Structure 1
Amino acid sequence: MNHINVTINGRQYRMACEEGQEVRLLKLAESLESRIGSLRGKFGEIGDARLTVMAALTVCDELVDASNRIRALEQEVISLRDVRVAASDRVKATQVAVANALNAAAERIEKTTQVLNRTVGGGVAIG
């Protein structure tokens, strides 16, 4: 477990993190610090705790929105998979129907050729 110092709302905090996560934790702290600074610019000095809570609420709001978007996208992916499976099934059915139609046509052509060979060709094969 590694430890780093982060600055949030002008105060330093010693934080523990997994090895290799130091840069990520620093960026998260910078993002929160930026949000607090932005809120301070909008509302002035309304108290450190209040600014921190407001920043946390804006992060939570974005998280809820992102989670909802992810759920909607997951549902869309499921729907698209269902459409793809249905289309694939239709393609397979169409291929079978076309193959059967071609085989039937080939059989009719072969029978017609045999009849023509017997009646018209006088023993000379046609085709």
Structure 2
Amino acid sequence: MAYVTISIGGRAYRMACDDGQEDHLSGLGEEVDARIDQLRVAFGEIGDQRLSIMAAITIADELSEARRRLAALEQEAAAERAARSAATQRLGETEARLARSVASAAERLERLTRELGTSPSGGVGMG
């Protein structure tokens, strides 16, 4: 278990985190501190607790919007996968029909070749 001291609103907080997560936690602390500073500039000194709540709500709103966009993108990706799967199935069906058509044409050509004989002259004399 690692510990990081982060500064938010001019106050230091000692936080525990998993080993290797120190920089991430410090970065999150810096983001929250910057958000509180932005709100302080916009609204003035309205109290640390109120600024913290406003920052938390603002961040929660952004998270909610990001989740909404992610869900929309996941739905879009699922629709694209379904469309691709349907197209792949149609392609397979088309290839199978084409293969049957080619096989049928080859059989007809072979039958015609047998009926006409194997000689290019077809047994007809040129004379």
- TM-score under structure 1 length normalisation: 0.92
What's the CA shift string for 1:42-81, capped at 9, x where partnerless?
Answer: 1111111111110000000000001111111111111111
Amino acid at match of 2:4: I
Residue 113 of structure 1 and its aligned partner are, at CA, apart by: 1.1
Residue 117 of structure 1 and its aligned partner are, at CA, apart by: 1.2
- Cα distance in 1 for partners of 2:26, 2:78 equals 36
What's the CA shift string for 1:11-53, capped at 9, x where partnerless?
Answer: 0001000000000000000000000000111111111111111
Q: 1:85 — aligned with what?
A: 85
Structure 2's unaligned 5+ residue stretches are none
- TM-score under structure 2 length normalisation: 0.92
Structure 1's unaligned 5+ residue stretches are none
Residue 122 of structure 1 and its aligned partner are, at CA, apart by: 2.5
- Cα distance in 2 for partners of 1:4, 1:28 equals 11
Runs of 4+ that moved beyond 4 A: none
- Cα distance in 1 for partners of 2:122, 2:66 equals 78
- Cα distance in 2 for partners of 1:22, 1:66 equals 24
SS in 1 for 2:6: strand
Q: 1:102 — aligned with what?
A: 102
